[in-house]
Structure 1
Amino acid sequence: MPIIDSTYNVPFPFKNGHFSTVYAGLIRRVKGVEQKREQITLPDNDFLDLDWSFSEEKTKKVIILLHGLEGNAQRPYMTGTAKLFNKNKVDAVCVNFRGCSGSPNLKFRSYHSGATEDLEATIEHILSTKDYSEIYIKGISLGGNMILKYLGERDHVPSQIKAVVAVSVPCSLAGSAKKLHSFENSLYHDRFKKHLVDRLKIKQQQFSDMLSLEAVNSIKTLYDFDNVYTSKAHGFKNASDYYEKCSCLQFLPNIKTPSLIVNALNDSFLSHECYPVKQAKANPNLYLEMPKYGGHVGFVDKKNVYYDEHRALKFTLTIP
């Protein structure tokens, strides 16, 4: 499809990508979302915690929300979308990836950008236990890469999935990793690494026969983390192999479900490969919007409803 001309604009200082990223991630608050937790068992006997919120009216529509790296179902970018959709007669289920709900998961593995088997299990659970005729999915950052990979790596997608929105997507994991390791992003890099390593130390105590404390202490960068843990725990040769096999970029041509990517041009986490103009122009089901502003998941807008949330609602409920 032709590239979508974005109408998003914000006042200073939110035109600064770093300011909008930090404000949205650390300062924004969303109130008024009541969530009910459901725990499901995965095929390997691990678990996922799903946090549901509901429309005041009975509905046949639901949106599945997928968070980013080290996120969870209570992040404002999750609850903000859930609240908006609930107000528009759509139920919402915010997925906590393995180990992200406040309790360590049971297996040595956890979650990663390409773990579509857990998304598939979630969708199958919803289809088999609920009565929804329309399913929408919105993924943020890592979650955006996951849903686009899910759609493009398989020939059959459940017919109930009507539309997908992916925001601030690292379509090239290697390219995004390189950007995160740059001086410009050092504060973000160090924050992510600290959180990941702190949780990995807990997992090392659970699985000391599979991961040594020396290996954990050797991690100095996010690339090290993916080399030492992510790749080994999930069946990849190394970090580079993980990035190559799990980047959604290669799967975009095969997407048959209407899908919108919203990637800000001033997102410091994204390399040039993360703006798939060529792929969008070649695939009638793939829509690409590249706002000038927004940083990484920082699409600040009026009345605490963010631009990407407005776009998700409009795109899913008025499917092109």
Structure 2
Amino acid sequence: MTVDLLDWKRTSAYTLAMKQITTPENLAEPFKPRLPWLTGDLQTVRNLLVGRPADLSAWPCRRVELDLDDGTGDHLLGSFHPATPASGPLAVLIHGLTGSQDSHYLRATAGFLLTQGFAVLRLNLRGAGPGRALARQQYHAGRSADIDGALRAFQALEPKAFETGLFLVGFSLGANVLLKFLAEEGSEWSVTAAATVSAPIDLRAGQQRLMKPRNRVYHYWLLRNMKRELLSSPGGLDGHRLQVLESVRDIYDFDDRIVAPANGFDGALDYYTRCSAVVFLPSIKTPTLLVQAVDDPWIPVESYRCVDWQAYPNLRLLQADGGGHVGFHAAKALVPWHDQKISAFFKQLRG
């Protein structure tokens, strides 16, 4: 029986894997894919095909509603797992496009960090997942102020959770949001460390890659889910917006005709230009690990290769030859490779 078929509830195997703490010296160990997930595409779709959500029932959890206090009346929804022991630092996890607090990758990271003594907040972006009914507006790749608002609201609810360190992890679109937040507010929050996985740091390049013929299945799947999210808006859509949505045929059109006008951008290109994380990298003072795969089918490797990473001493790029998009299913391990590396990076900085 391969590790893909193991039940995550079998604590003897799962706990053993979780306790394989990666040391700082192993941070740069190369990624080796798990059979049969040998290509970037297979790594990307593995969870969708055979993945089982990590079982988090061993850790207490409570629902938290976070008032954004920005005049919209919107709230963000999160699931908070206190640390065991209670003195552990706080890790806030931020999902990607059309994801939520219950995305496979987010639950896997939450489970691993909980075994390392972290408290974990699985945060839904504005209008995402089970928090859809709490927000009339919708998240986008540049809505970094929502992270600031969520942290302020959560600190008011759980002030002790921030006493031993604040760590932030973002995935895909949520990783772009996180990098922008770090540039704008990271120092104010005294974030101990941060990590991103498969961040589309050049939004225009990522959009163009997704619309290539080889990615038409991904493109169709994402666009369908984006439309479903919008259609589930509290109170529904007015006739004009519904008509526009029905006529949208691709992601660029969605960004240009839906996202941009709803958020004060002058079209999709203005949205991409003003929100791409690559613009904000020079301003990030927080120690940050960026995990990215060369064979990511959604994000062109050129987005990362055109950056002079040596010019940014606070940023560490960990670029693997394989891993796909938020995949990194490694050989001989239940714990995703990116989680091992994030844990090692955070371990260096916990003090």
Please tell me whether residue 29 in structure 1 is matched to residue 55 in structure 2.
Answer: no
Aligned twin of 1:274: 303
Please tell me whether residue 130 in structure 1 is matched to residue 168 in structure 2.
Answer: no
Q: How far is 1:6 from its partner?
A: 4.7
- Indicate if the aligned counterparts of 1:55 and 1:88 stay in contact, CA closer than 8 A: no
Please tell me whether residue 190 in structure 1 is matched to residue 220 in structure 2.
Answer: yes
Aligned twin of 2:110: 82
**Aligned partners of 1:199, 1:271: CA distance in 2, in Å?**
26
Aligned positions of 1:1-320 closer than 5 A: 5-34=28-57, 35-43=61-69, 44=71, 45-105=73-133, 108-128=136-156, 129-131=158-160, 132-133=162-163, 134-154=165-185, 156-159=187-190, 161-203=191-233, 206-208=236-238, 211-276=240-305, 278-301=307-330, 302-319=332-349
- The answer to which of 212-221 and 260-269 deviates more is 212-221
CA 254–227 in structure 1, closer or farther in 2 if over 3 Å, else same = same
Provide structure 2 residue ranges, at least 5 long, that are not aligned to the other structure.
Answer: 1-26
**Aligned partners of 2:106, 2:68: CA distance in 1, in Å?**
22
CA 155–98 in structure 1, closer or farther in 2 if over 3 Å, else same = closer
What is the identity, as a one-letter code, of the residue corresponding to 1:223?
Y
SS where residue 349 of structure 2 aligns? Answer: coil
**Aligned partners of 1:167, 1:42: CA distance in 2, in Å?**
26
- Indicate if the aligned counterparts of 2:127 and 2:135 stay in contact, CA closer than 8 A: no
Q: What TM-score do the two structures reach when normalised by structure 1?
A: 0.92
Per-residue CA distance 1:141-166 (angstroms, 9 max, x = gap) = 0111111111123584312x100000
CA RMSD of aligned residues (A): 2.0
**Aligned partners of 2:205, 2:248: CA distance in 1, in Å?**
20
CA 15–8 in structure 1, closer or farther in 2 if over 3 Å, else same = same
**Alignment length (residue pairs):** 315
**Aligned partners of 1:164, 1:25: CA distance in 2, in Å?**
26
What is the identity, as a one-letter code, of the residue corresponding to 2:82?
F
**Aligned partners of 2:230, 2:174: CA distance in 1, in Å?**
20
SS where residue 92 of structure 2 aligns? Answer: strand
Per-residue CA distance 1:261-306 (angstroms, 9 max, x = gap) = 0110000111244315633211110000110000001100344210
**Aligned partners of 1:40, 1:204: CA distance in 2, in Å?**
17
**Aligned partners of 1:57, 1:267: CA distance in 2, in Å?**
37
Q: How far is 1:256 from its partner?
A: 0.7
**Aligned partners of 1:217, 1:36: CA distance in 2, in Å?**
38
Percent sequence identity is 28
SS where residue 39 of structure 1 aligns? Answer: strand
**Aligned partners of 1:30, 1:215: CA distance in 2, in Å?**
35
CA 6–246 in structure 1, closer or farther in 2 if over 3 Å, else same = farther
Per-residue CA distance 1:161-208 (angstroms, 9 max, x = gap) = 100000001000000000000111111110011111123234396341
CA 9–305 in structure 1, closer or farther in 2 if over 3 Å, else same = same
**Aligned partners of 1:270, 1:63: CA distance in 2, in Å?**
26
**Aligned partners of 1:106, 1:239: CA distance in 2, in Å?**
26
Q: How far is 1:112 from its partner?
A: 0.5
What is the identity, as a one-letter code, of the residue corresponding to 2:251?
L
CA 76–202 in structure 1, closer or farther in 2 if over 3 Å, else same = closer
- Indicate if the aligned counterparts of 2:67 and 2:150 stay in contact, CA closer than 8 A: no
Q: How far is 1:27 from its partner?
A: 2.4
**Aligned partners of 1:213, 1:155: CA distance in 2, in Å?**
37
What is the identity, as a one-letter code, of the residue corresponding to 2:45?
V
Q: What TM-score do the two structures reach when normalised by structure 2?
A: 0.84
